[in-house]
């Protein structure tokens, strides 16, 4: 590599430029630090020494002196909220809201931050009041989304429907959520024997989402509560065309209706066909219990053994051992119980439902995830079935 003479001239020039830039930056920093209110520096000192209450007082005083520190107020308030110190976040943001010299944009931002503080603190009524004030402003969509969250937490489904319908639909479909809100209303109506109101709510749920399995399930429940088992069966059978994965949730309902109609064998044939087409551990369990009740232990054992060969699972093996205990000679039952106990200990880990959105696992099925709040994010399949899926 050849040495260029002009490099000797370039090195001093680069050094001089770097020195000059550093001097300019230092002067700018010193000038800005002198411009800051002394209370601002005092507040930082309190904050660094883990004295947040004294820091808040100092920062509030700094805002009174220099309006440019308003952004600092927002930043610190958000920091306190993220740390879970909602009382301190509320205090900082409330101080901003109470000021008279804020612009409309700053006041709306302060209100939105205060609403989030109340929401994080669980003060839903106060958060609601804040976000209602923000409707019709530039933060309208933000307010609506938070109001929707509040009304779902409060289970005020009528208000939730109103807010969801007011939300912008560009790129977001709210049909599933609104359909579930109507289903919640229908569920309460059925529980209180308000069948006409429940039927109307379910009609609206299906209008919003024709694939709503939950609406079909509740429609069947409504007809069954009225004593119309034939109509109930039609509603529950419709689930096969909507999403057959959910058939396990209505297996017991179907069998009870067929039993009341005196058509138990027809119901068992239907469940067998469902199990053949849509293998499911919950369907197997439901059919096993009815097979055991109607045909006896040997038939139930044969059912589980055939299904285990087709779809080998730990939960299926646990069910097979349960059936084997009923058919085995007395002298063999102790050994079978020992093996069943070992297998059952492992199946408890894989016998849960899992949310598709956040991965939260639960022993029972939910229409709305308790962790992330998503609707219909729990497929009615055990975690072992997901692990075995290709």
- The per-residue DSSP string of 154-181 comes to TT-HHHHHHHHHHS--TT---HHHHHHH
Q: At what angle do helices 213-225 and 229-237 cross, to 10 degrees?
A: 170
- The pTM score is 0.74
Cα–Cα nearest to 246, from 294, 286, 278: 278
- Residue 362 dihedral angles phi and psi, to the nearest 5°: -145, 155
Residues near 199 by beta carbon (within 8 Å), at least 6 away in sequence: 186, 219, 222
Element (H, E) at 97: helix 86-97
The structure tokens 């306190």 sit at 80
372 annotated ligand-binding residue: yes
- Concatenated DSSP letters of 124-153: HHHHHHHHHHTTTSTTHHHHHHHHHHHHHH
- Residue 20 is predicted with a pLDDT of 45
Tokens of 28: 């700018």
Q: How many residues does the chain have?
A: 390
User: How many C-beta atoms lie closer than 10 Å to residue 365's C-beta?
Assistant: 14
Q: Are 117 and 93 in contact (CB under 8 A)?
A: yes
Question: 98, 45, 47, 46: which is closest to 70 by C-alpha?
Answer: 98
Looking at residue 142, what is its pLDDT?
93
What is the set of domains in the chain, with CATH numbers?
35-121 (1.25.40), 173-240 (1.25.40.10), 352-390 (no CATH)
Residue reference for tokens 């969250």? 149
Reading the block at residue 330, the tokens are: 């007395």
- Look up residue 314 and give its two tokens: 């730990």
Cα–Cα distance, 360 to 198 (Å, whole number): 31
What Rg, from alpha-carbon coordinates, does the chain have?
32
DSSP secondary structure, 38-59, as one string: HHHHHHHHHHHTT-HHHHHHHH
pLDDT at 178: 92
The pLDDT, as a whole number, for residue 355 is: 84
Smallest Cα–Cα separation from 125: which of 92, 98, 93, 159? 159
Q: What is the pLDDT of residue 162?
A: 92
The DSSP code for 361 is E
183 is known to lie in a ligand binding site: no
Give me the pLDDT at residue 29, please: 36
**pLDDT value for 106:** 85
Whole-number pLDDT of residue 260 = 94
Kindly give the parts of the chain with pLDDT less than 50.
Answer: 1-3, 6, 11, 17, 19-36, 41, 48, 65, 171, 388-390
Residues 6+ apart with CB under 8 A from 70: 63, 96, 102, 106
Percent of the chain with pLDDT over 70: 75
Sort 329 into a burial class: Cβ within 10 Å, 0-12 / 13-18 / 19+: exposed
């Amino acid at each position: 590599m050849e040495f260029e003479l002009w490099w000797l001239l370039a090195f001093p020039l680069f050094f001089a430029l770097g020195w000059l830039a550093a001097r300019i930056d230092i002067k700018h920093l010193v000038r800005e630090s002198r411009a800051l209110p002394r209370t601002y520096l005092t507040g930082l000192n309190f904050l660094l020494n883990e004295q947040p209450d004294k820091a808040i007082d100092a920062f509030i005083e700094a805002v009174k002196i220099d309006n440019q520190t308003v952004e600092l107020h927002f930043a610190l308030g958000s920091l306190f909220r993220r740390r879970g110190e909602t009382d301190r976040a509320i205090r900082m943001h409330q101080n901003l809201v109470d000021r008279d010299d804020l612009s409309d944009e700053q006041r709306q931002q302060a209100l939105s931050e205060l609403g989030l503080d109340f929401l994080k603190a669980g003060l839903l009524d106060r958060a609601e009041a804040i976000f209602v004030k923000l409707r019709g402003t530039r933060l309208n969509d933000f307010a609506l989304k938070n109001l929707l969250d509040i009304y779902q937490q409060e289970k005020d489904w009528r208000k939730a429907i109103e807010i969801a319908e007011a939300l912008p639909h560009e790129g977001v479909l709210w049909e599933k959520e609104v359909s579930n809100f109507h289903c919640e209303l229908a569920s309460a109506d059925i529980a209180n024997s308000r069948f006409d109101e429940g039927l109307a709510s379910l009609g609206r749920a299906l209008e919003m989402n024709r694939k709503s399995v939950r609406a079909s399930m509740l429609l069947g429940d409504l007809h069954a509560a009225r004593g119309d088992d034939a109509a109930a069966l039609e509603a529950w059978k419709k689930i096969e065309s909507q999403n057959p994965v959910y058939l396990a949730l209505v297996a017991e309902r179907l069998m009870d209706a067929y039993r009341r109609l005196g058509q138990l064998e027809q119901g068992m044939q239907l469940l067998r066909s469902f199990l053949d087409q849509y293998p499911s551990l919950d369907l197997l369990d439901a059919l096993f219990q009815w097979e055991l009740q109607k045909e006896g232990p040997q038939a139930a054992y044969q059912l589980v053994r055939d299904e285990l060969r087709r779809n080998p699972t730990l939960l299926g093996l646990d069910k097979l051992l349960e059936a084997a205990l009923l058919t085995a000679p007395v002298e063999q039952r102790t050994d079978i119980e020992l093996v069943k106990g070992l297998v059952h200990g492992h199946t408890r880990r894989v016998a849960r439902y899992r949310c598709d959105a956040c991965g939260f696992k639960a022993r029972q099925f939910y229409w709305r995830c308790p962790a992330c709040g998503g609707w219909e994010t729990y497929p009615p399949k055990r975690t072992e079935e997901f692990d075995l899926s290709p």
